[in-house]
Amino acid sequence: MKKINSFIVLLIILYSCSVDNNIEILNGYWEIQSVKKEGQLIKKYPFSNTIDYFYVKNLEGYRKKVTPQSDGRFMVTLHQANLNITKENGEFTLRYLNKNKTYFEKIKKIDSQQLIILDKEGYIYKYNRYIPIEINKDGE
């Protein structure tokens, strides 16, 4: 019985660690798809010329706007917002520190392909993992 209890405790600890580290799935390029508020579609983005790039390590990092180029590289904009991440009641909160202004967003959903963020005004931003468009030398 003691071994079973120890095993259960170990599983809980391992699960807790993996959930907390799961926020690093945020790292990378995200393309906005839509914005909603109160269940109403505000804007749909069939194409966006800027991509959000997130970098997170140890619950700290930044968010930066980048523009994809035809050669597969990115033009980096000057806009960067430093952030800290906290987890409360199973939800991750992004706390941005930008030019003496602090604002918050909650991650409502995140997995390897989709990110949904809620801001304090009630806007829901849906992102998909950015997939670069590949153009061959032939133009195809």
pTM: 0.78
Residue at 79 is within a domain:
yes
pLDDT at 12 over 50: no
Single-letter amino acid, residue 133: I
Q: How confident is the model at residue 10 (pLDDT cuts 50, 70, 90)?
A: very low
Domain that holds residue 80: 2-129
pLDDT at 58 over 90: yes
Over residues 62-114, the pLDDT tens digits come to 999 999 888 888 888 778 899 999 999 889 999 998 777 889 999 999 999 99
> What stretches of the chain show up as alpha helix (H) in DSSP?
2-21
Q: Considering its fold, how many domains does the chain have in total?
A: 1
Contacts of 98 (CB under 8 A, 6+ apart): 81, 82
Domain harbouring 18, CATH code: 2.40.128.280
